[in-house]
Each structure stands twice: as C-alpha cells, then as structure tokens.
Homo-oligomer: A and B are copies of this chain.
C-alpha cells in the first residue's frame, strides 16, 4: 500500500492539526469524519471493510483488522490520538498501544465498562449508582434462583460481552427459555425486567481535563431492542429528574475517567427514579439529533474531547427535536425516497449512511425540529417510514402527496 502517512499528509498540506485515528468505520465514524471536516482535523480511518460507511467518505482509509495488534499498530502509526466507533477493540491491544506511546481516548480502563456488562454493573454498585436488580448466573438453576428471589419470571439475561442492538439479550419467561443464553458456555448477567415508564438517555462529552458538556436528557423509543426514535428533550420529564439523570451521567463519566462521549441509557421507573440500563463510550444513536438540533453535535464534541479541546455548547436549538432511524425495510433504494421526502418537507434533515438496505439495519436517520411536538413527530416519522417502505400507518389523506412524486 502506497498511502501516505498522516504525518506526510500534514506536511504536504503545511497544516499542523493533529491526526485522529478512528478505529471502526460504521455510521458513527462517518459522522465523526463529517464533523472533522469542519474542525480542519485529519482523520485516519481504520476499517475492516474497504467500502464501509465511513470508509466511503475519508481520504485513504486503512483497511486493517483491528483484532490483529501488529496490523493495528501499523494502521495508527503517526496519529496523535486514537478513538473508536465501537467498543470491540481488545483492551490488551489498547494497553499495548499506550505502552508504545500512543494516546487512546477513551482509555482501556474506561472502555472495559462499556465492553463488559458484568464489569459495568460491579462498578456502578461500588459507586452506589442505581441499576436494576442483577446477578451473574452460570446456569439455568441460577436463573431460577434469581427469579425466585425477586418477583419471578420474566427475567432478562445478557451476554456480558459483544451484544448490541438487542443481540445477546434474552427476555426469558421460564427455566427452559433460559437455556439458549448459556449455549456459548459463558456466565451471563441476569437482571430483573424493569417495568419502566419509558427509556431515557443522558449523553455527555468529557475532556481529559474534566470539562463536561451534558446534552438534554432524551426519550428513546426502542423496538425489538433497536432504537427507533429519540425525542429531545424527553417530553414531560420532571426538571429534577432530568438534572438527576445528567448528574448521574456526569458522575459516571468522571468516576470511570471517560474521555469522549458517554451515553447512559436509563429506565425511568414508575416510582419516579432512573436505573442505568447500558453504557456506551462513543457517539450514540440517542445523540444523532444533535447534528441538526444542538449548537454542537455529539460528533464534534467527541472529537473536541479526545483532542483535549474545550467543548462546545450542547444546548438544543429548538424546543423539540425528533430523530427517527431509517431501518432497512421493504424498499431497496433509499435514494428513490428523496423526491417525496424532500418535497413534502423542506425542513426535514436526512442522513443516509451509504449502507445497503438489509431488514432492520440502521441505514440512515431523519431529524425534524420545531415548536409543536406532534408536528415534529409526524414529520420525522413520515420521512423515515417513507424510506423504509413502512407507510401503512399513514392515512389516505396523505396519498395525493405521495402520488405527486
């Protein structure tokens, strides 16, 4: 490969901005790269697929397997800081890179809490922070005992590592239901199924110096374990609970020494509190609204944090901002959706990720904002549903507009 190193590129450019290595090339890296253009910061993308979402939009992506340390070492050579679009880089690799003088943000010590749910739960317990009732279980008998000790079934079982978008999570209603969770032969985390009011997310960006920018607390709507819709701010959320959720996220970010974005997924409980569901240490789906909806997007603030630059204002620019994911559906061409979607609503913001459509796959998102939540919700949902081909729920009143494109 004859690609120039970042240092050579910078030299050729006569520009002194540091280079950020981003490991992973999904849509999060893609939107980081978009933010990096504005900041004037070069990105060195490390991707295992030559035309992954982010690899399409950066100069000279390095196609390399991050699981192979020697390959990873070469890929990040000459970069000033290393960050990630996922939590799957082995911590031992990160420690080896740090030992060799690299800067990894977030650090391996912080990332462990996003990689391993058992580690995360233990740490939150030590800090006295609120989790659902939980316990590590080795077999079905232990699940049975866990259920019996609480309100019985259903119980949620989670693989401690590697799950995302609902994978590695089983909601089990009986002893026999629990068996598949042990198919891999590893202990799993058992958690009470929380009878929550709704799901919230508190997202913060934290810099090495400890500065924190806290985004408004959002409501996140999940379907089949996948985030489908995010409303900013969470409608009707009591101000004191919003502050509590932000403080919880800030406390976790500080205690775990997170650098970059930390997303804390929360359950709002019926007794008016919150419980921590999951942690993510990277820009997060519940923060996509911030590209069009906040003064500073989560992607820019992630970069500013890992570069140890002062953080930008995370305030929302409109009263309501709604983000709806475009999930792969019955329509193979996303581009064919543009004439209708853009003509129907000149204010809607569309982000497509350059990914081929597969059922349920996150292939884009749309954002709408404004003063009237019902209107904003309808606009964002309509646009996303049109791309997906999921238009059944729109009334026949809408048909003339559809026919018009």
A contact residues vs B (CB 8 Å cutoff): 9, 12-18, 30-31, 33-34, 36-40, 42, 50-51, 55-59, 61, 213, 291, 295-296, 304, 309-313, 317, 332-336, 338-339, 342-343, 346-347, 349-357, 364
Contacts and interface: CB of A to CB of B under 8 A. Distances in A.
Please provide the 5 A-B residue pairs with the shortest distance between their CB atoms, ordered closest to farther: A40-B352, A14-B356, A310-B343, A310-B342, A313-B346
A230 to B, nearest CB: 17
Given A17-B352, A312-B342, A335 B58 contact: no
A51 B13 contact: yes
Given A313-B347, A346-B310, A346-B313, A40 B9 contact: no
B312 A12 contact: no
Contact of A295 (B18, B347, B356): B347
A332 B15 CA distance: 9
Contacts of A36: 57
A110 B56 CA distance: 32
Contacts of A16: 332-336
Q: Which of A42, A59, A304 has the most CB of B within 10 A?
A: A59
Nearest to A343: B310
A45 B377 CA distance: 37
A357 B40 CA distance: 13
A42 B5 CA distance: 24
A241 B310 CA distance: 42
Given A33-B37, A37-B33, A37-B57, A355 B15 contact: yes
Given A40-B335, A57-B58, A317-B317, 18 more contacts: A13-B355, A15-B354, A15-B356, A16-B333, A16-B336, A17-B334, A38-B352, A40-B352, A40-B353, A55-B59, A213-B346, A296-B346, A309-B338, A310-B338, A311-B342, A312-B346, A312-B347, A313-B347
Contacts of A50: 12
A402 to B, nearest CB: 14
A334 B55 CA distance: 27
Contacts of A354: 13, 15, 17, 40, 42
B339 A309 contact: yes
A360 to B, nearest CB: 16
Q: Which of A9, A56, A296 has the most CB of B within 10 A?
A: A56
A36 to B, nearest CB: 8
A354 B14 CA distance: 8
28 contacts: A9-B51, A9-B56, A12-B51, A13-B356, A15-B354, A16-B335, A16-B336, A18-B335, A33-B57, A38-B291, A38-B350, A38-B351, A38-B352, A39-B352, A40-B335, A40-B351, A40-B354, A40-B364, A42-B56, A42-B354, A57-B57, A57-B59, A59-B61, A296-B346, A309-B339, A311-B342, A312-B342, A317-B317
